[in-house]
Structure 1
Amino acid sequence: MHKKTLTSVATFLTLGIFLILNSCGNTEKKTNTTTPSTDDKEVKKTVYASDVIPFFEDWKLILGDGSNAGIATNFEDKNFFYTAHDSDSDWIVFKAPNGGDTHGTSNNTRTELAQVKKWYPKTANDKLTATLKVMNVSATGDARVAASYAVVVGQIHSADAHENEPLKIFYKKFPGHTKGAVFWHYEINTAGDDNSGRWDYSSAVWGNDFSVVGTGESTYPDEPKDGIALGEEFSYEVEVKDGMMTLKFTSEGHETKTFTKNLIASEYTTTADIPKQTQELFVPIGQDGVERKEAYTGEGCFFKLGAYNQTNGKSPEVNKNWCSGAETHGGDIQKQYADGNYAEVWFKTASISVSDAAVSNEGYFTKNDLK
């Protein structure tokens, strides 16, 4: 009896130890799989445009709904202006639909920075640089209209008088093409009070200039052999000093191009001076003016940077150069974004140098913010 009792006690103790050890094992396993506390989770920080390029005190931001967002430090708008990250860089995204509310008297939407100061070409020593890639241009438009499928990615704009533009830097790509064109425009500062005769002169950088259009509504010219693809980086430098504008364009795998243009002495003061390109493109629609002898002398000018969509929904019968007849879905932005009817431009780097002689540009915004 004594032996059997001892055996029973031993069996009981062994079973108890086994249960205790097994319980400890289960407890340890549960501890290891417990979800981390909220305190242990990393909170994802918003990367603002001003974190990517810290120069926003020099600009006011115009959005694709026509509103002025002001100085856009620590600001984003998911419809028009935000940041994105690719494999190695943060970028600022500027996005503008084909149709919607516009800023000032323009027919076109823009998400664009406008300089808070203006400077005068004759005494200027001012510079703008940028590295960017165009990610989308409108999916629709009339191929015979020169502005279809295009976006302006940098400008010099006059704040005074006619508010014309001595510089617009374009990117344009036809549907079905892999490569698009980069070109720049000079717009005359029209003599007299009537600005309806103003016109642009276009110079090709890589690919074609503005005047190369389709022969039919959906018939496209040949793809440029030396063009720039969507998503391909390129850079521009714009310097205005002592009345002269100097432009420099660079892109890996492409020839570097430079141009100069006098902004204070016109070369277009008589009808005989109108270039052949303009005679073919603008004169037939009544844009046949001449320029003031002093060009942009005495007018405050300022830089712009972003996505100024050149494709709109207006009928080509209104103006065969600037009215694209593109899809706008009645101004519904999300529908336009869903089927590719917008412009989108990403900027990786940019800089601005402003001369001491520059003055406030507030008058320009006062005139145009409520139009």
Structure 2
Amino acid sequence: MNRKNIVSVSKLFIFGILITLISCKNSDKKTDKKEAPKTVYASKVIPFFDHWKLILGNGKNVGIANNFEDKDFFFTEKDKDGEWVVFKAPNAGNTHGTSNNIRTELAQTKKWYPKTANDKLTATLKVMNVSSTGDARVAASHAVVIGQIHSADKHENEPLKIFYKKFPGHTKGSVFWHYEINTAGDDNSGRWDYSSAVWGNDFSVVGETANTYPEEPKDGIALGEEFSYEVEVKYGIMNLKFTSKGHETKTFTKNLIASEYTTKANIPEQTQKLFVPMGQDGVERKEAYTGEGCFFKLGAYNQTNGKSPEINKNWCSGAETHGGDLKKQYADGNYAEVWFKNGSISISDNAVSNDGYFNKNDKVK
């Protein structure tokens, strides 16, 4: 082989090595390139979102929330137990309807009538945060409602609210549920709630001063501790069941179509202490919630707010709100956060559209 041929072969050899190195480098780049994580939507974790409209913590109704997320209020998280749907609501911001409180909550698209109902809601969840501030004398401070039955008609009262509440410095909090009377007459200002303890205390256990707390409940539920509820309304009777590992299963029954509170003499002692001193001493319609369309709600309905306790010592918490600044509230614990693992809803044939409720209440104030 002559010198000219030797040089050509050498050039070809070097060129081949360079092409190989470049190809390997490009191949390495392709191998190292990481794919962006795919969004796991809430509707993939709990596939029942066709039955709900979602109200966000900014007061907006975003409608049916299939393939939807909002990183401030509604998204998913994953831990050792799997995927969870997260509902988050600050102490202050824009509210939905006539409420004083912020909610990130599902509201059922249909309403049903207690007397002919055969409807059921189930959920498994854990509460991850309740407000770090609030007047301890106010019963609603440091609490969040995690499930409801709401009336769509007349006074729009609530035959069921399921609460979780934990005082600062306590390891364990309380789970309890409320029945709100469906007030007789056109004046609803005398309405009141009656609270029943599930695990821990009921609504009436409060602090002696704004910054002192009652004794921690021995049989309470900690933040991050999983529990479940079942709500069934069948032919006028509401049946409740609460379960949690390591805790006694609790069941309750309440008639929604025949009132036990039709006279002032029937007002319970708990109510006499909490509500009557504020003038909330109404009586209930004899037929209670008969004839009114009712619907389920599920999520995080924050019960702590920044309104002065002088306005109402049961519902106005005087908590920190940072003027409604969302980031500041989230930074120092002034919010409610609830994670749902699963849930189900069963709807009776007599259920009808709930659009009237949404049309009336879908206003940001």
Q: TM-score, normalised by structure 1?
A: 0.92
1:94-138 deviations in whole A, cap 9, x for unaligned?
A: 000000110000000000000000000000000000000000000
Partner of 1:333: 326
Which residue of the partner structure matches residue 221 of structure 2?
228
Q: Which residue of 1 aligns with 2:347?
A: 354
- Further displaced range: 213-222 or 34-43: 34-43
Q: 2:244 aligns with which of 251, 256, 260?
A: 251
- Cα distance change of structure 1 residues 355 and 283 upon mapping to structure 2, 3 Å threshold: same
Between 86-95 and 247-256, the greater mean CA deviation after superposition? 86-95
Equivalent residue number for residue 206 of structure 1: 199
Alignment partners' CA distance in 1, 2:205 and 2:238: 25
CA contact (8 A) 2:59 2:363 kept: no
Q: Does 1:114 align with 2:120?
A: no
Distance 2:217 2:19 in 1: 69
Q: CA deviation at 1:33?
A: 8.7
How far apart are the structure 2 equivalents of 1:287 and 1:200? 10
State yes or no: 1:241 paired with 2:234. Answer: yes
Q: 1:47 aligned to 2:40? A: yes
Trace 1:77-226 onto structure 2 (pairs within 5 A).
77-226=70-219
Are the aligned partners of 2:89 and 2:302 in contact in 1 as well (CA < 8 Å)? yes
Tell me the SS of whatever aligns to 1:128.
Answer: strand
> What is the Cα deviation at residue 87 of structure 1?
1.1
Match among 272, 288, 311 for residue 265 of structure 2: 272
The CA distance in 2 between the partners of 1:39 and 1:118, in whole Å, is 53
The separation in 1 between residues aligned to 2:22 and 2:58, in whole angstroms, is 56
- CA shift at 1:40, angstroms? 6.4
* Alpha-carbon offset, residue 45 of structure 1: 1.3
Between the aligned partners of 2:136 and 2:271, the Cα distance in structure 1 is 18
Deviations 1:31-60 (A, max 9, x none): 379533289643421100000011111000
The offset of 1:88, in angstroms, is 2.8
Match of 1:3 in 2: none
Within 1, Cα distance between the matches of 2:326 and 2:246? 36
1:25 Cα deviation (Å)?
11
The sequence identity of aligned pairs, in percent, is 80
The equivalent position to 2:302 in structure 1, one of 294, 306, 309, is 309
- Opposite residue 338 of structure 2, the aligned amino acid is V
Residues of 2 paired with 1:142 and 1:160: CA distance?
Answer: 33
Deviations 1:288-326 (A, max 9, x none): 000000000000000000000000000000000000000
Aligned AA (2:343):
A
The whole-number CA distance in structure 1 between the counterparts of 2:27 and 2:289 is: 70
- 1:334 is displaced (CA, Å) by 1.0
Partner of 1:10: none
Offset, 1:151: 0.0
> Which has the higher Rg, Structure 1 or Structure 2?
1
After superposition, the CA RMSD in angstroms is: 2.1
Aligned equivalents of 1:35 and 1:101: distance in 2?
50
What is the letter of the counterpart of residue 67 of structure 2? N
1:320 correspondence with 2:313: yes
Q: 2:3: which partner in 1?
A: none
**Alpha-carbon distance between aligned partners in 1 of 2:357 and 2:241, rounded to the nearest angstrom:** 28
Distance 1:311 1:117 in 2: 28
Specify the code of the residue in structure 2 equivalent to 1:248. Answer: K
The reply on whether 1:365 has 2:365 as its aligned counterpart is no
Matched residue of 1:214: which SS? coil
Q: In the alignment, what sits opposite 1:4?
A: none
Q: Structure 2: which amino acid aligns with 1:54?
A: P
1:359 alignment partner AA: V
Structure 2: 5+ residue stretches without partners:
1-5
Q: Which position in structure 1 is the counterpart of 2:55?
A: 62
Cα distance in 2 for partners of 1:38, 1:114 equals 46
Please state whether the residue corresponding to 1:308 is helix, strand or coil: strand
Q: Report the 3-state secondary structure (helix = DSSP H, G, I; strand = E; otherwise coil) of the residue aligned with 1:370.
A: coil
Alignment coverage as a number of residue pairs = 355
Deviation digits for residues 322-368 of structure 1 (CA, Å, limit 9, x no counterpart): 00000001111111001100000000000000001000000000000
